[in-house]
Amino acid sequence: MATGRILALQLQRSCARARSSFGPANVGNNLANLDVLGSSPVPENNIEMISKDSIIFSNMKVVRSPNRQGTLVAALLLDNQIFELNTKSISKKGPLDLTTTELFPLLEALYPKPELFVLGLGFSNRMLHPDTKRRFSELGIMLEVGDTKSAVLSYDLLATERSPKQVGALIFPSVF
């Protein structure tokens, strides 16, 4: 009978040790050890924050829309660079037609071209104009389209996971 109690106490102690090593307090430490992108360099055009009218990057550059001239602009992210694209020629109604902007002449001149282009279309999704889809296809660039918040999350992950040279983005402010 005494040996049964001793075995039960030993079993309780070993179970308590097992629970303490897998407890909730250690989950964060264990997950931090599995962060495979933690040592990857952060792209210079990594987006830190978005607000209703601004996009703030990790290098402290701010794209504010409307800009000082009162024009709505979008952030164009290519190869660790941040550009402001004038969106004055884009209609806010109907399918989004980017063929009227300076985007495609710039992408045609760019070498190497990004493999994937992320489009953040403001507060909500819009359909893309068939001409816009066709132009991206002719350039051999795949598209990922979503609202601004989703596009920012996708771009930051893809640019860190791959390379900013392989992924481009056009992020419209939420007010668009």
Higher per-residue confidence, 162 vs 6: 162
Label each residue of the chain as H, E or C: CHHHHHHHHHHHHHHHHHHHHCCHHHHHHHHHCCCCCCCCCCCCCCEEEECCCEEEECCCCEEECCCCCCCCEEEEEECCEEEEEECCCCCCCCCECHHHCCHHHHHHHCCCCCCEEEEEECCCCCCECHHHHHHHHHCCCEEEEECHHHHHHHHHHHHHHCCCCCEEEEEECCCC
Considering the entire predicted model, what is its pTM? 0.75
Residue 169 has which token pair? Answer: 């983005």
pLDDT given at position 83: 93
pLDDT at 31 over 90: no
pLDDT at 150 over 90: yes
pLDDT at 138 over 60: yes
Distance, CA of 99 to CA of 79 (rounded, Å): 21
CATH superfamily name and code, 47-172? MTH938-like (3.40.1230.10)
* Domain parsing of the chain, residue ranges: 2-32, 47-172
pLDDT tier, 133 (very low <50, low <70, confident <90, very high otherwise)? very high
pLDDT given at position 146: 92
